[in-house]
Amino acid sequence: MSKLVITDLHVTVDTEDGPKEILKGVTLTINDGETHAIMGPNGSGKSTLAYSIAGHPKYTITGGTVTLDGQDVLSLSVDERARAGLFLAMQYPVEVPGVSVSNFLRTAKTALDGEAPKLRTWVKDVNAALEQLNLDPSFGTRSVNEGFSGGEKKRHEIAQLELLDPKVAVLDETDSGLDIDALKVVSEGVNRFRAREGKGVLLITHYTRILRYIEPDFVHVFVDGKVAESGGKELAEQLEANGYDKYVKANA
Amino acid sequence: MTVTTDSVRSALEQDTIESHLNPVGSFDVADHPVPTGREEIWRFSPLKRLKGLHADAPFDRSTTSCTWNTPEGVRIEGVSGDEARSLRGISGLVPNTRFAARVLAEVPASLVVDVPADLEVAEPIVISLDGKDASTTEAGHVAMRFGAHSKAVVVINHEGSSAMAAVVEIVVGDGADVTVVSIQDWADDAVHLAHHQARVGRDATYKHAAVSFGGDVVRMDANVTYDGPGGSAELLGLYFADAGQHIEHRLFADHNAPHTKSNVVYKGALQGEGAHTVWIGNVLIRKVAEGIETYEENRNLVLTDGCRADSVPNLEIETGEIEGAGHASATARFDDEQLFYLQSRGVSEKEAQRLVVHGFFNDLIRQVGVPSIEDRLLTTVEAELAKNVLQDLAAFGRES
pLDDT tens per residue across span A106-162: 999 999 999 999 989 999 999 999 999 999 989 999 999 999 999 999 999 999 999
Residues B211 and B329 in one domain: yes
Tell whether B213 is covered by a domain. yes
pLDDT in tens, B33-53: 999 999 999 999 999 999 999
Out of B345, B348, B361, name the one closest to residue A164 (CB). B345
ipTM given for this complex: 0.96
Residues B228 and B365 in one domain: no
Residues of B in contact with A57 (CB under 8 A): 336, 340
Tell whether B2 is covered by a domain. no
Q: What is the pLDDT of residue A251?
A: 61
Residues B291 and B341 in one domain: no
| CB pair distance less than 8 Å for B346 and A108 | yes
Report which of residues B362 and B117 the model is more confident about: B117
Is 70 exceeded by the pLDDT of residue B394?
no
Out of A78, A87, A160, name the one closest to residue B340 (CB). A78
Out of A54, A96, A114, name the one closest to residue B356 (CB). A96
Stretch A58-67: mean pLDDT: 97
Residues B391 and B288 in one domain: no
How close does chain A come to B252, measured CA to CA in Å?
27
Residues B217 and B309 in one domain: yes
Q: Which residues form the domain of A152?
A: 4-251
pLDDT in tens, B60-80: 788 999 999 999 999 999 999
The verdict on B336 touching A (C-beta cutoff 8 Å) is yes
Tell whether B11 is covered by a domain. no
CATH code: domain of residue A242: 3.40.50.300
The verdict on B340 touching A (C-beta cutoff 8 Å) is yes
Is 50 exceeded by the pLDDT of residue B3?
no
Q: What is the pLDDT of residue A137?
A: 84
B217 touches B49 (CB < 8 A): yes
Residues B314 and B372 in one domain: no
Q: Percent of chain A at pLDDT above 70?
A: 99
Residues B345 and B213 in one domain: no
Residues B292 and B356 in one domain: no
How close does chain B come to A114, measured CA to CA in Å?
5
Confidence bin at A250 (pLDDT 50/70/90):
low
Residues B315 and B371 in one domain: no
Q: What is the pLDDT of residue B388?
A: 64
When divided into structural domains, chain B yields a total of 2
Is 80 exceeded by the pLDDT of residue B162?
yes
The verdict on B400 touching A (C-beta cutoff 8 Å) is yes
Is 50 exceeded by the pLDDT of residue A12?
yes
Q: Which residues form the domain of B156?
A: 18-333
Residues B280 and B348 in one domain: no
Tell whether B273 is covered by a domain. yes
Residues of B in contact with A117 (CB under 8 A): none
The verdict on B297 touching A (C-beta cutoff 8 Å) is no
Residues of A in contact with B400 (CB under 8 A): 111, 114
Residues B287 and B266 in one domain: yes
Stretch B240-268: mean pLDDT: 97
Is 90 exceeded by the pLDDT of residue B274?
yes
Across all residues in chain A, what is the average pLDDT? 94
Residues of A in contact with B363 (CB under 8 A): 97-98
Best of A68, A77, A99, A100 to disrupt the B interface by mutation (most B CBs within 10 Å)? A99
Query: Taking chain B, what is the end-to-end CA distance rounded to the nearest angstrom?
Result: 71
Out of A95, A98, A108, name the one closest to residue B347 (CB). A108
B117 touches B73 (CB < 8 A): no
Is 50 exceeded by the pLDDT of residue B19?
yes
| CB pair distance less than 8 Å for B358 and A79 | no
Is 70 exceeded by the pLDDT of residue B283?
yes
Q: What is the pLDDT of residue B384?
A: 86
The verdict on B367 touching A (C-beta cutoff 8 Å) is no
Query: In A, residues 87-126, which contact B (CB 8 Å cutoff)?
Result: 87-88, 90, 93-99, 103-104, 107-108, 111-112, 114
When divided into structural domains, chain A yields a total of 1
Stretch B283-307: mean pLDDT: 95
Confidence bin at B11 (pLDDT 50/70/90):
very low
| CB pair distance less than 8 Å for B361 and A111 | no
Q: What is the pLDDT of residue B399?
A: 38
Stretch B264-277: mean pLDDT: 96
Confidence bin at B18 (pLDDT 50/70/90):
low
